[in-house]
Amino acid sequence: MSATTIRYEDVSVGDTLPELPIPLTVSLIVSGALASQDYTPVHHDKKAAQEAGMQDVFMNILTTNGLVSRFVTHWAGIDAQVRNVNIKLGTPNLPGDTMTLTGEIKDKDDATATVVVEIAGKNSWGAHVTGTVKLALPQGA
């Protein structure tokens, strides 16, 4: 995470965040499910995932949510505050693939010094996650 926080006045609608490629490993998928106390077998048992029609374990939404939050907060810096995360899942995240997160500032609210970042996380199948994150950014020097 950046030790310097981006200031509200230094961003504009249309600004893009640096892309973040995330290699998808079995360890990431399983540890994310366990850390979020999601013990659904398809997130940690390959045989159960295959019986459900997938080729391997796949990422749960709570891990995706955490990765999305990490993406925007590492860009924004330590003093930014996440106010809202609104995401939906699409294609699954499977081991051996890479999810690349992208973001663009879609809205600014001068009254609250907040920005809305539209995010997308894509893998080789297409869009894994889409949505928005609302961040409060500090103002002034």
pLDDT in tens, the chain (141 residues): 556 789 999 999 999 999 999 999 999 999 999 999 999 999 999 999 999 999 999 999 999 999 999 999 999 999 999 999 999 999 999 999 999 999 999 999 999 999 999 999 999 999 999 999 999 999 986
State how far the Cα of 123 lies from the Cα of 100, in Å rounded to an integer.
7
Residue 102's nearest CA partner among 119, 88, 90, 85 is: 119
Are the C-beta atoms of 105 and 11 separated by less than 8 Å?
A: yes
First-to-last C-alpha distance (Å) of the chain = 19
pTM above the 0.85 mark? yes
Name the E strands within 5-80: 20-23
Any idea what the Cα angle at residue 84 is, between residues 80 and 86, rounded to 5°?
A: 130
Total residue length of the chain: 141
| pLDDT of 27 | 97
| pLDDT of 29 | 98
Q: Which CATH number fits domain 8-136: 3.40.50.2300, 3.10.129.10, 3.40.190.10, 2.60.40.420?
A: 3.10.129.10
List the domain boundaries for the chain.
Answer: 8-136
Could you say which DSSP state residue 3 is in?
A: S
Between the alpha carbon of residue 26 and those of residues 29, 88, 132, the distances in Å are: 5, 22, 27
State how far the Cα of 32 lies from the Cα of 46, in Å rounded to an integer.
15
| pLDDT of 26 | 97
